[in-house]
Structure 1
Amino acid sequence: MKIICIGNYPPRKCGIATFTENLVKSIIQAATDHSLNLEVEVIAMNDHHQQYDYPGIVKLTINDQEKEDYIRAANFISASGADLCLFQHEYGIYGGDSGLLILGLLKRIKIPVVSTFHTVLLNPSFHQKEVLIRIADYSEKIVIMNSMAIGFLNEVYGIPLSKIVKIEHGVPDFGRLSQAKVNRPKSWTSRTVLLTFGLIGRNKGIETVIKALPYIVKKHPGVLYVILGKTHPHVVKYAGEEYREYLEGLTHELGLDEHVEFLDQYVSEEELTNYLLASDIYITPYLNKAQITSGTLCYAMGGGSAVVSTPYWHAEELLAEGRGRLFDFKDYRALTGVLNDLLDNPAELETLKQRTYNYGLRFAWPKIGLKYISTFEGAIHDFNEIKGICKPFTINFPEINLTHLERLTNDTGLIQHANGIVADYKTGYCLDDNARALIACLIAFKRTDDERYYALIYKYFTLLYYLQNEDGSFKNYLTYRRNTTEEVGSDDAFGRAVWALGAMVRWSPCDSMFQVSLDLMHRATTHFEKLQYARGMANCVFGLYHYIKRFPDQERVIKMLSELSDKLVRLFHENSKEGWLWFEPSITYDNGLLPAALYAAFEITEKPEYLDVADQTRSFLENKCLANEQLTLVGNKTWWLSHHAESSNYAQQPIDAMAMVLLYDMAYQATKQIEYIEKLKICYSWFFGLNDLNLPLYDSQTHGCNDGLEEMGVNRNQGAESLIAYLYSNLLAGPYLKEPE
């Protein structure tokens, strides 16, 4: 069996690096002890382009912020002949928002993954939650070190219990060490030693112990509190030694210089073992209740230390049933009572040490290594039996939900932008968004007869009515104070208004609004000849398409649809050349709309030229955006130009995904080719994580849609355009997702 382990590794200085090294060594030792044929290689994470002198077991490194390094590592794993990937997950190790860059690696490898989760948050941010869920999707087994984490993973993250394995944090085999070999430092001679060790930072709460010491040394003058460890590198980077200097100042201020010792150093495992065995009481005064794993606590228990701790989650579990003493966060008076009680009762202190030592025997690294090997064997078996070599991307598509749409809608209409989910009134209202919202609500009302859609239809239609000028053109913007900012809007906005009017003609929920729709539509048609741009024409084609669906014998309207479609065909011929089959010299935004309009025109007219151009342009766009069995949109950071092969994949926008869903819906409606349904589903899945970042745009908590895919994360604003793009895509895809009866 060959294992590739991904994580931090010494000589990088951090707890995960030490853990990974010890875990790898324990796995190799357990395999040797049980005559198993097992090989381990390591892929080590470098932080901020730092370089380390790694041992030979490290075969490859990844610079945490370099996306290409993750792809290179995935290719390395695929070519390595490895049977399994052991992955160490902790926030802050991997690049991108909440470490999302690692998802690109995990998605690409075709072997089972066992992931060790060092942190499981009860109240994660959007990115923290979604990244962890995706890692779990790609993992055959998930190892946690705390029973509480099992409930969190299942209830907060929806991870099935069958995937979760509890394996304790390993520690040195203290049972093999002799107290006779303990080298007690000279400064500890004849002292009762309290010890805290680990990388130092404000969350350690060390000042709580220092504040308690005056009341302890008054009764027990031989007490010495030892603070062992360097300041955490990330703390040093942003705050220097500010916290350590504060602790030193507090020590001096309280007159404790003879009772506090700072050992500002990294220590080897052998040295740490010696310090633990030489101390009397180990203290973890941490400030964060939500700490799910503490390696230092496990080490102390493995060494048989009497442990006193604040009640963070891991401590509550390990110190239950009398295996340690707890005191509340920052409560130095309670800590004083606990420590004085133990120091006043040496027999109780020794009993506590023995109880801790007996429990800690289960943490010995050789036992932990064997548990991991057993987990590997189960993961490989399950992978081969159930999944084979394929990692399916499964999505539970949600039903449509109006919560965020109603949140952004007031008595006037739909607010254009949002900061997070908070409507940004300063941005006012735009015709585009309200027209698209009107179309979506008409479809939804037709399917559900839900009166909430009726109320929204009225609001959006009323705003559209207000924004039409007397001559039939449209203004595009309305301020929050209901002032207009221009006389005539863009071709795009005009076209979307026409599309919405056509949908109103087709599906108006009452005759009164239907009659007004007819009037507005007829006034708008007088401006068709003025349209200059392809998207304005395509949007109008859809408006006429819906009109004709209501009145199929209207030859005048069919002629208008044909004239606009002919212009699109003409634009195609004017701009196309070898290697560039498109309507314009650039591919920008809302691209799927253009061939979709010609499929709609073909459905009405059955003119083969429309179908031919629609097929050519769809295929051209498809080769760019659907090359890897997922949707990769042209981002608006850099457009795709006919004379320049490269384009940006960031920032990808929901409106473009919606246009692709629309494209395949119309392609199927026009041709009835089943392949278009499957491609529609792939495009719709973009909203749920089948995309370049492997993260959803749809927010299941707010029922909004994030504004785009950036290079290192999701744009967390949830404005109107993105929301309507998702809702409309949901409505288009819905009928294709239902199981046949």
Structure 2
Amino acid sequence: MPERTAELRRSAIPLLASGAADGPVIPLFAHPGSGRSSLSAVSLAVIGTYTPRKCGIATFTADLVEQLGRYHAEIDTQVYALDAGDGGLRYPDHVSLIEQGDPASYAAAARHINEAAPDAVWLQHEFGIFGGPDGEMVRDLIDGVAAPLIVTFHTVLSRPSANQRRIVEHIISRATQIMVMSRHGRDLLVDLYRAPADRVTVIPHGAPDRPFGREASFKAWLGLQDRNVLMTFGLLGPGKGLEHAIEALPAIIARHPQTIYRIVGATHPNLVKDQGEAYREKLIALAQRLGVGDHVQWDNRFLDTPELLDQLEASDIYLTPYPNLQQATSGTLSYAVALGKAVVSTPYVHARELLAEGVGMLVEPNDSAAIAAAVNALLDDRQRLDALRRRAYAEGRKTIWPRFADASAALVHAAAVQPLGEVPLSAALGLSGFNAMCDATGMFQHAIGIVPDRRHGYCLDDNARALILMNHAAAVPPAERLSRSVIFASFVQYAWNPDRNHFRNFMNFDRTWCEDEGSDDSNGRALWALGDTVEHSPFSDMQAWARHWFDETLHTLDDVQSPRAIAFGMLGAAAVLRGTGNHSRAEALLRRGGAFLETLLAASRRPDWAWFEAVLGYDNPRLPQALIEAGTLCDRPDWTRLGLHTLDWIAQRQIAATGLFRPVGSETFGRQHGQMPFDQQPLEAQAAIEACLAAFRSDPSPRWFDHAVSSYRWFLGANDRGVILGDVASGRCRDGVTPRGANANCGAESILAFQLGHVALQHLLAERRTMQRAGEELAEDDHGPAQTLAHP
């Protein structure tokens, strides 16, 4: 039999490739994947079950990988297969395994995918193939993956449980592109699950491309010459409705005694585990009781695709009597239509769409009489049967593998982040976006898009940072610069609450305070802004004002134990020391803070975790930056070394395998010894740049310069979604990178992070140029002209 099968497959080749005697064969379609030299190479990680596992999702995943490889060589795939973990299956070498019931395996897979740095990840979703209730472990897997996510929903429930709905909506929230195989599935995702309509694409299940009308040859292969062959294929279980097809046989055989019904497929493994072969034996007993046992052939195997297609070719009519009318996809139905089979089916979702307009015959579920009537009508009228088969074959041309591959490749290219060219590093930023967020009171906190949202008023955090920006805004005319500085200084001053000896943070739009005492972090940032003003304001009056308020409010950190608040205060104290040359209380804060951070690091450190806490948060590089500056000013080289080491550690954790800056996402907050890629926020990029500037001044290594540049380029599109956050012309900045792209809002924190990150980078560029010039002069004196590094 295998030899005959191979011979039949070989016979198809000249039918597809050669021309007829009167001229060449004109192809019905083009598959531009071959020779598409203009498409960029893309790497794709595919997650799902995979052959040799015996299930429809595994077959689909294998087909997807095979057809992309055949028709779109520019897409390189790596497979991550969900496995039961029993070691019973041997997977191909290019397949990495995820143990479906082991949470640690999902975390390891996410890390492995991120290290491989694919351009996109394509997840096949079905509730039963992932671990946990309703397969909820899929959430942790996709939450840990940084690349753009494509999702195929193989099942879209119209009446999900609360947990199923939560899982689907979470997946949607992470997805860059979504694929379904039916219009009904698309409508459910958009209407019921609130999926963005522009991200949901219908791609019908792919199907083989074989010649039409070869039943006689394949019937002979099976020894079924001159028989009417009905067929059903799939994992056997009560949900297939096979008892109704068997109950229809007496009426069919009474009219057409040469009819045979072939039921092909193994019993579902879960059913075998619970009940053995009781269900199959029940069906066999039913056929015997009805007197049609000799007209039913059982092939108790899960066939590989080539043999399945051969057996389908031997059939005249394909039956899918499924009682579940919500079934969205049937791969074998797509195969049968593409091979030109007459189909009699219940009107489940996929069948309603694929068999519409006379492509097949639909019958009511659980109705054996209707099945018998439909089959007999076709066998009674061979011309009608042939016409139905030809309509099916013509419809199947729309879903053959080349077209499926083209549509799938288009989805991959739409999702994948393409590498960007060079981005400007030294272009001056505009300030119109910053100015639009300010009024006579200060800087608004939030915006909806680019429009300030007055409902959220103001906060000390942002106005302190805005004051720092004015200290460094040399391009702003002096009068305007002073005017702006005074407004932000006034906000800081008014935020001081002498009754509590603390700064307040949040202010309503009507200038009333929302609280009597702000967070430790906001108090630390206020001290930082005051110290920066002492060191960098070009106006002596502003310097004197800042020195007064720094001295007046420094005690707010006396009992504080928040690492970031202390680090912020230390940065302010370092600025005061540099600006004044001598300030005993500022030096005392630096020494206390340095000792505090050193103690934290010693307590939390472990071989794979060189950090001050068991969790990562926001503004992470500020902790090493504070240690570096304290070590320099307090003559503590050990602190400087610790600061450089921990900055290097956090920098390495925030660089993707592709070299892109991947800041700690806000979803990381509170996860012990963990890191999640989203939502990525501008504050972290600014902190990385400024900490690298401090590190470069202590240790002029190229690594600090390179990391600062990568962090700045994150604003300009070199990020996990390829989205441009910072607008050079206006100086605005989007609020971050989400799984779906950019957060469109432009709040104060983001604008200030972009502006201040730019300021720090310009200082770093200038200091690097100075160092290069000094090196060139030395080299010329000693060895002649030196070769300079290219300016990025």
- TM-score normalised over the length of structure 2: 0.49
Q: Give the counterpart of 1:274 among 298, 310, 319.
A: 310
Give the corresponding residue for 2:159: 123
> Over residues 193-232 of structure 1, what are the superposed CA-to-partner deviations in whole Å (9 max), with x where a residue is unaligned?
1110111111000000111111111111111111001011
> Over residues 279-333 of structure 1, what are the superposed CA-to-partner deviations in whole Å (9 max), with x where a residue is unaligned?
1100000111111111111111111110000111111111111111111111111
Shift of 1:37: 2.9
- Answer whether contact 1:74 1:106 (CA < 8 A) is retained: yes
SS in 1 for 2:294: coil
**1:437-586 correspondence runs (5 A):** none
Q: Give the counterpart of 2:90 among 45, 53, 56.
A: 53
Q: Give the counterpart of 1:43 among 80, 90, 103.
A: 80
Does 2:165 match 1:218?
no
Whichever residue aligns with residue 396 of structure 2, its letter is G
- Answer whether contact 1:303 1:360 (CA < 8 A) is retained: yes
Whichever residue aligns with residue 612 of structure 1, its letter is D
Does 2:142 match 1:106?
yes
Give the corresponding residue for 1:193: 229
Give the corresponding residue for 1:7: 48
Give the corresponding residue for 2:277: 241
Give the corresponding residue for 1:627: 616
SS in 1 for 2:559: helix
Whichever residue aligns with residue 387 of structure 2, its letter is T
Aligned-partner Cα distance in 1 for 2:405–2:340: 21
Give the corresponding residue for 2:170: 134
Shift of 1:267: 1.8
Q: Give the counterpart of 1:79 among 115, 118, 129.
A: 115
Shift of 1:56: 2.1
Q: Gaps spanning 5+ residues in structure 1: where? A: 386-544, 546-605, 631-678, 695-736
Whichever residue aligns with residue 627 of structure 1, its letter is L
Aligned-partner Cα distance in 2 for 1:617–1:627: 11
Aligned-partner Cα distance in 2 for 1:211–1:154: 40
SS in 2 for 1:42: strand
Does 2:246 match 1:205?
no
Give the corresponding residue for 2:268: 232
Aligned-partner Cα distance in 2 for 1:349–1:629: 68
Aligned-partner Cα distance in 1 for 2:618–2:338: 49
- Answer whether contact 2:617 2:666 (CA < 8 A) is retained: no
Does 2:355 match 1:319?
yes
Whichever residue aligns with residue 192 of structure 2, its letter is V
Give the corresponding residue for 2:194: 158
Structure 1 stretch displaced more, 264-273 or 139-148? 264-273
Shift of 1:610: 11
> Over residues 721-741 of structure 1, what are the superposed CA-to-partner deviations in whole Å (9 max), with x where a residue is unaligned?
xxxxxxxxxxxxxxxx9x99x
> Over residues 27-48 of structure 1, what are the superposed CA-to-partner deviations in whole Å (9 max), with x where a residue is unaligned?
01112xxxx5332111111114
- Answer whether contact 2:119 2:418 (CA < 8 A) is retained: no
Shift of 1:266: 2.2
Cα gap change, 1:367/1:98 in structure 2, threshold over 3 Å: closer, same or farther? same
Give the corresponding residue for 2:636: none
Shift of 1:268: 2.4
Q: Give the counterpart of 1:27 among 39, 63, 68.
A: 68
Q: Give the counterpart of 2:559 among 612, 622, 631.
A: 612
Aligned-partner Cα distance in 1 for 2:617–2:269: 40
Whichever residue aligns with residue 28 of structure 1, its letter is G
Cα gap change, 1:611/1:189 in structure 2, threshold over 3 Å: closer, same or farther? farther
SS in 2 for 1:279: coil
Aligned-partner Cα distance in 1 for 2:269–2:257: 34
SS in 1 for 2:255: coil
- Answer whether contact 1:83 1:111 (CA < 8 A) is retained: yes
Give the corresponding residue for 1:350: 386
Give the corresponding residue for 1:415: none
- Answer whether contact 1:174 1:364 (CA < 8 A) is retained: no
- Answer whether contact 2:219 2:225 (CA < 8 A) is retained: no
- TM-score normalised over the length of structure 1: 0.52
Aligned-partner Cα distance in 2 for 1:6–1:615: 41
- Answer whether contact 2:117 2:147 (CA < 8 A) is retained: no
Shift of 1:179: 5.7
Cα gap change, 1:329/1:183 in structure 2, threshold over 3 Å: closer, same or farther? closer
SS in 2 for 1:162: helix
Whichever residue aligns with residue 64 of structure 2, its letter is L
Aligned-partner Cα distance in 2 for 1:261–1:180: 18
- How many residue pairs match? The answer is 424
Whichever residue aligns with residue 247 of structure 2, its letter is K
Q: Gaps spanning 5+ residues in structure 2: where? A: 1-40, 422-499, 501-552, 567-599, 605-610, 620-663, 679-744, 749-792
Give the corresponding residue for 1:549: none
Whichever residue aligns with residue 63 of structure 2, its letter is N
Q: How large is the Cα RMSD of the aligned pairs? A: 3.6
Aligned-partner Cα distance in 2 for 1:87–1:79: 18
SS in 2 for 1:188: coil
Give the corresponding residue for 1:286: 322
Aligned-partner Cα distance in 2 for 1:237–1:245: 15
Shift of 1:612: 2.5
> Over residues 344-388 of structure 1, what are the superposed CA-to-partner deviations in whole Å (9 max), with x where a residue is unaligned?
111111110000111011221122112111111111259989xxx
Give the corresponding residue for 2:764: none
Shift of 1:625: 8.1
- Answer whether contact 2:347 2:363 (CA < 8 A) is retained: yes
Cα gap change, 1:349/1:82 in structure 2, threshold over 3 Å: closer, same or farther? same
Give the corresponding residue for 2:547: none
Shift of 1:611: 8.2
Aligned-partner Cα distance in 1 for 2:234–2:618: 46
Shift of 1:159: 0.4
Aligned-partner Cα distance in 2 for 1:29–1:242: 42
- Answer whether contact 1:112 1:383 (CA < 8 A) is retained: no
Higher Cα Rg, which structure: 2
